Chain A
Amino acid sequence: MFEAIAFYLFATLITVMFTITVMTSQALYALTAMAAGMIFISAFFFILGADFLGAIQIIVYTGAVMAIYAFGMMFFDTTRNVIEKRSNPRFVIVLGAFAAVLVVFIVLAPIVTTNLEAHYPIDLAVGNTQAIGMVLFTKYLVPFELAAIMLLVAMIAGIVLAGKKMDKSLTLMAEEEIALMHASSVSETLEEGAH
């Protein structure tokens, strides 16, 4: 009974949260609702007895949404509504609804006729965390390593993009030096433009 109550409670909460995320025109509401929705999803893992995945869901998504907040802070005045340009709202609604139905169809089509059964049923002798480790390092080793390589590539790319003037610290420089640096970079771009 408790499981059913928890399931319906969190299902409703998640749906409401992500609806707010999509519908609102206030950046702070959208971000907060998304963070809440992501954290509420972890409840499903806990209900299903997958404690490890539940905790990982919380840890990963608090950090990830935190990074989106940082972008939100840079791009918007988060205390005001974002004025969206809606040239053809009906078209957007029809397309959005169609995409949503399509996604549901794609996910459900292969499994709607079959009776779902666990490929790797819970082994009570082995703990939850160990079971994930076993599956991850045997059956799913290649996808796991590929994901690791992808993250490494993304990390190196991030460092290369962001690390251009890493040897200089704006905080430690005097005002004149910063002005000089800006002037020289501006003249450089001008010269490049002239060539």
Chain B
Amino acid sequence: MDMAFIIETIVKIVVILLVFSALAGLGTYFERKVLAFMQRRLGPMHVGPFGLLQVAADGIKLFTKEDIIPQNVVKPIFKIAPVITAATAFMASAAIPFWPQFTAFGYTVHPIVADVNIGILYVLGVMAIGLYGPLLGGMASANKFSLISAARSAAVFISYEVISGLSLLAPLMMVGSLSLVDINNYQAGGIGNWIVWSQPVAFILFWIAAFAETGRTPFHLVANDHEIIDGFGTEYSGMRWGLFFIGEYANMFFISFVIAIIFLGGFGDGTIAGAFQLLLKVAFFFFFFLWTRAAWPDVRPDQLMWLCWKVLMPIAVINVVITGLVMMF
């Protein structure tokens, strides 16, 4: 292994970490602004122009706040839980191609940390470990509401994982590869080649599963403020709570990238225009996460499980069978 490769990889990792940590912070600003406009408020206005520096103020508050560890918690687990959520979110991003390869100063850069040929399995698998954060945080907290939240996160996890896996199976059968780069190149022909046209059912199912995966509003039952306070986050304060937050927002961005790459053509043929289209698609999916939060009520845990097991799973299985039949004949 040569030195240039190692340095290049380290640089990529640092860039992704910095960009998406910053984006996670900005994401909270966008979320508050979007929610505010949809509810005819102004949102953050006082810190900086249009309240833009609110992010910095929140950051300072999170970093400098006292780190409280309550008396009866299981200390090592309680401390490691937020790290799991944040770390796995960023680990999952290792196999996502964020940008087509480009040449800068005579050096070709592949903006993907590890181009493994099972990219999508790796991304989904490592993202799934992220749910251990809420689970462990909730179970270690010695708090009834946290424990309810942990139980819910286990139930949510087992339900949505089936849907996201089965719904992806049909497009993967068409592409014949698990690599996100291959999936992207399969749709390089333009808008008519996007997988969403041939697999609309899988697209909708995976999108729904993405909401459960990131724990966003229709399925926000892991930390539902009006039922169980902040769920797993109730006992956390300061930067440990902030790590949960960074993990959640980074996951939202990464899953938006994954949806855009698998179903909406990704960066297309790899030109600069295609790359900016990818960013636009990601921005749309991120906005949609915020939009549903403003527009939809939360479902109950039993409703989520009913939806996943009795409605979405049969649809996903039928979709896979039909895709198989069409491909065979």
A interface residues with partner B (beta carbon < 8 Å): 2, 26, 28-29, 32, 35, 39, 51-52, 54-56, 58-59, 62-63, 66-67, 69-70, 72-73, 78-79, 127-129, 169, 171
Q: A28-B74, A51-B116, A129-B118 are in contact. Are A58 and B129 (CB under 8 A)?
A: yes
Say yes or no: A39 contacts B129, CB within 8 Å: yes
A interface majority secondary structure: helix
Q: How many A-B residue pairs have CB under 8 A?
A: 90
Say yes or no: B154 contacts A66, CB within 8 Å: yes
- With beta carbons under 8 angstroms apart, the residue of A51, A59, A63, A69 that contacts B117 is A51
Say yes or no: B129 contacts A73, CB within 8 Å: no
Say yes or no: A29 contacts B77, CB within 8 Å: yes
- Chain B residue nearest to A73 (CB atoms) is B151
Count, chain B residues at interface, CB 8 A: 37
Q: A67-B158, A73-B139, A79-B140 are in contact. Are A35 and B132 (CB under 8 A)?
A: yes
- CA gap between A73 and B300 in the complex, in Å: 20
B81–chain A nearest beta-carbon distance, Å: 9
- Chain A residue nearest to B303 (CB atoms) is A171
* Complex interface: chain A residues within 8 A of B302 (CB): 169, 171
Say yes or no: A52 contacts B121, CB within 8 Å: yes
Q: A28-B77, A79-B74, A129-B178 are in contact. Are A55 and B132 (CB under 8 A)?
A: no
Say yes or no: A66 contacts B158, CB within 8 Å: yes
- CA gap between A2 and B124 in the complex, in Å: 26
- CA gap between A29 and B136 in the complex, in Å: 10
* Complex interface: chain A residues within 8 A of B131 (CB): 62, 66
CB of B174 within 8 Å of the partner chain: no
* Complex interface: chain A residues within 8 A of B116 (CB): 51
- CA gap between A69 and B154 in the complex, in Å: 8
Question: Could you name 16 residue pairs across A and B whose Cβ atoms are closer than 8 Å?
Answer: A28-B74, A29-B76, A32-B77, A35-B132, A55-B125, A58-B128, A59-B125, A63-B157, A63-B161, A66-B132, A66-B135, A67-B154, A69-B139, A70-B154, A79-B139, A79-B142
B301–chain A nearest beta-carbon distance, Å: 9
- With beta carbons under 8 angstroms apart, the residue of A29, A32, A35, A70 that contacts B151 is A70
* Complex interface: chain A residues within 8 A of B132 (CB): 35, 62, 66
* Complex interface: chain B residues within 8 A of A70 (CB): 151, 154-155
